[in-house]
Amino acid sequence: MSSSSNTYRITIVGAGIIGLTTACTILKEYAANENLQLTILSEKFSPETTGDISAGFWEPYGLDAVDKRILRWAGYTYDIFLSEFFSTKAALAGIIKLPSYSLQGYNGQNIKDDETTKKPEFLKLVRHSHSLDQHELAMFDHLKPKSGFVMVSVAVEVRKYLPQLLRFLSEDSRVKFIKKKIHSLIELKDKADVVINCTGLASRDLVGDQTLRPARGQVLRVHAPWIKSMYAFDTEDGFGYVIPQGDTVVLGGTFQLNDWNTKPVVSDTQKILRMCSKAFPALEQIRHGKVQVGLRPYRDNGVRLEHEKTSTDMNVVHCYGHSGAGVTLSWGCAKDVVDIVKTLLPPKSKRPDNLLEHEKLWRLIPNFEYVVLKAKI
């Protein structure tokens, strides 16, 4: 397929972490195509996306199955985030490399299925991990877990990350942003050569995918600067987690399927505090925090990433249904989406450059805040 007007018209619907990483990957692969017209169309942009609420922790979470495809996407994304942590992007984009402890069982009992006590397959993707021995488990004696592991992971503060992606994209004259809600992809017929659907939960209505369901997540952002690592643990009240970000710590959480409520629930907040205080008793003293609610795009059949030639002769590439793993799978899915797009709209050969791989995806555009900071040093 080729564009009839000699112009490559690509429209991405959705401006969350999936949509924007896909857009950045398109600019990388089509760097030599001056005739590219990339439109990002979305009802919501940061800070209004579901990702802005998330803790942004790298781990394939909320998925029924972690298969080879998920592992490939997660591994590619992990490498990108780790590279960015060791780059000039880390501070402004909110990327943190941190030890992450996962504990199974509470009060000496395993309250999950036996399968969950095995080391998950995604541990082979990270730079360092090991099962906790009895001496290490003793650090958490107040929880009395049955087993656990620690790994080196990454937390991405999405509310900082997305604005930096948007700033990079906005510097390219080939990119246009449209804030608008569409009710059917047919509205884009004859306006784009390829449409990329990254609308998350909205795909339930947009393309009629009834296998998509909300997985409601409520979190609490608090000031707890003494917590420097990520912890996930079982309690008698359920599963809790504590994830540090730049200036706050995210306490969670809930995973409530089929719940469309986007308003905070007091009982959920109390439960989150009760669970997290089991691990960190000092959190019992927390009296102030920001409660947020987001609806994860859970899909019964897992992530949908595929090309569709619609009955109306449109080329659509779908990428949605990431549940609680949107950040974890983002760059890997973006690569696969763009690989499909390249078969439909073959790009010119890439311009040679000496940029590192992760710098080809997106570059920080110097802003006034950064210039002032440099001047003060």
Q: Spell out the long-range contacts of 347-350 with Cβ–Cβ below 8 A and sequence spacing 24 or more.
A: 347/8, 347/29, 347/30, 347/32, 347/33, 348/30, 348/32, 348/33, 349/32, 350/29, 350/31, 350/32
Give yes or no for a contact between 225 and 252, defined as CB atoms under 8 angstroms apart.
no
Residues 6+ apart with CB under 8 A from 362: 24, 27, 164, 165, 168, 169
Global pTM value: 0.92
H helical segments located in the chain: 17-29, 50-53, 68-85, 90-93, 134-137, 158-170, 203-206, 266-279, 326-344, 357-361, 368-376
What is the rounded average pLDDT of the residues 70-93?
95
98 part of a folded domain: yes
14 part of a folded domain: yes
Checking if the pLDDT of 91 tops 60, the result is yes
In this prediction, residue 63 carries a pLDDT of 95
% of the chain residues with pLDDT over 70:
92
Checking if the pLDDT of 346 tops 50, the result is yes
Q: What span, in angstroms and rounded, lies between the C-alpha atoms of 94 and 84? A: 10
Checking if the pLDDT of 320 tops 90, the result is yes
In this prediction, residue 366 carries a pLDDT of 61
327 part of a folded domain: yes
Indicate which CATH number applies to the domain containing 337. Answer: 3.40.50.720
Annotated binding residues for D-dopa: 241, 296, 324
Give yes or no for a contact between 243 and 155, defined as CB atoms under 8 angstroms apart.
yes
In this prediction, residue 356 carries a pLDDT of 72
Residues 6+ apart with CB under 8 A from 39: 9, 10, 11, 12, 175, 176, 177, 178, 192
Give yes or no for a contact between 78 and 66, defined as CB atoms under 8 angstroms apart.
no
Checking if the pLDDT of 1 tops 60, the result is no
Sign of the torsion formed by the C-alpha atoms of 321, 1, 186 and 51:
positive
Residues, the chain: 377
Checking if the pLDDT of 325 tops 70, the result is yes
3-state SS class at 373: helix
What is the rounded average pLDDT of the residues 322-350?
95
Q: Which of 1, 36, 37, 43 is nearest to 19 (CA)?
A: 43
293 part of a folded domain: yes
Residue whose entry in the numeric block shows the structure tokens 């001047």: 375
| Residue type for position 212 | L
Condensed to tens digits (0 to 9), the pLDDT of residues 146-195 reads 999 999 999 999 999 999 999 999 999 999 999 999 999 999 999 999 99
Q: What span, in angstroms and rounded, lies between the C-alpha atoms of 373 and 105? A: 46
Q: What span, in angstroms and rounded, lies between the C-alpha atoms of 374 and 51? A: 30
373 part of a folded domain: no
Number of domains in the chain: 1
Annotated binding residues: 199, 241, 296, 324
In this prediction, residue 2 carries a pLDDT of 47
37 part of a folded domain: yes
Condensed to tens digits (0 to 9), the pLDDT of residues 37-67 reads 999 999 999 999 999 999 999 999 999 999 9
Residue 37 dihedral angles phi and psi, to the nearest 5° = -125, 105
376 part of a folded domain: no
377 part of a folded domain: no
Condensed to tens digits (0 to 9), the pLDDT of residues 242-279 reads 999 989 999 998 999 999 999 999 999 999 999 999 99
What is the rounded average pLDDT of the residues 100-110?
87
Range of the structural domain that residue 207 is part of: 8-361
Average pLDDT, the chain: 91
Q: What span, in angstroms and rounded, lies between the C-alpha atoms of 35 and 71? A: 35
Annotated binding residues for FAD: 199
What is the rounded average pLDDT of the residues 356-360?
75
